[in-house]
């Protein structure tokens, strides 16, 4: 005997009707899970490593991208992203500032090689100096050396 279950359309309609009303619960309960999230995420390092190095990870990745597709990406930007963009930026201010500060300090502390006349290919060395210093900083912040 088949398992009785509503159609996917009925289940989705109920989800859209009921779930937005749970926003208050989410706001109240989700922050309390932060420390559990952090400890569980740190404990899953080996699982993460195994997942991202699986032999077929490239095929899985492409499959996920294909399944979502450009149409969904575009639809979500239009229907959701625009309204969330400004508030998201405002909410991210302290994170943006503290996240960028180490790189701003690196840039401010650099003394670049002498600038050559416009169009001189040796000017690319200056770009390389900035890129190298920023990469070194990024890797050190990740605990990956540098």
**Domain range list for the chain:** 56-91, 100-113+122-146
For residue 35, the model assigns a pLDDT of 93
pLDDT, averaged across the chain: 94
- Spell out the residues 6+ positions from residue 123 whose beta carbon is closer than 8 angstroms to its own: 115, 116
For residue 15, the model assigns a pLDDT of 93
pLDDT tens for each residue of 54-64: 999 999 999 99
Q: How far is Cα 114 from Cα 123, in angstroms, rounded to an integer?
A: 8
pLDDT tens for each residue of 68-117: 999 999 999 999 999 999 999 999 999 999 999 999 999 999 999 999 99
Q: How far is Cα 46 from Cα 55, in angstroms, rounded to an integer?
A: 16
For residue 34, the model assigns a pLDDT of 94
Where residue 144 falls among pLDDT bands split at 50, 70, 90?
A: confident
Answer whether 0.75 is exceeded by the pTM.
no
Contact 108, 115 (CB under 8 A): no
For residue 145, the model assigns a pLDDT of 61
């Amino acid at each position: 005997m088949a398992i009785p279950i509503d159609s996917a359309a009925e289940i989705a309609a109920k989800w859209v009707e009921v779930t937005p009303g749970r926003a208050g619960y989410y706001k109240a309960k989700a922050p309390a899970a932060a420390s559990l999230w952090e400890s569980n995420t740190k404990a899953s390092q080996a699982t993460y490593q195994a997942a991202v190095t699986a032999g077929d990870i490239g095929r899985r990745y492409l499959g996920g991208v294909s399944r979502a597709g450009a149409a969904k990406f575009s639809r979500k930007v239009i229907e959701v992203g625009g309204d969330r963009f400004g508030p998201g930026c405002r909410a991210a201010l302290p994170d943006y500032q503290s996240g960028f500060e180490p790189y701003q300090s690196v840039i401010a502390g650099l003394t670049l090689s002498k600038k050559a006349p416009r169009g001189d290919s040796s000017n690319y060395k200056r770009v390389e100096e900035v890129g190298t210093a920023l990469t070194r900083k990024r890797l050190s912040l990740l605990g990956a050396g540098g």
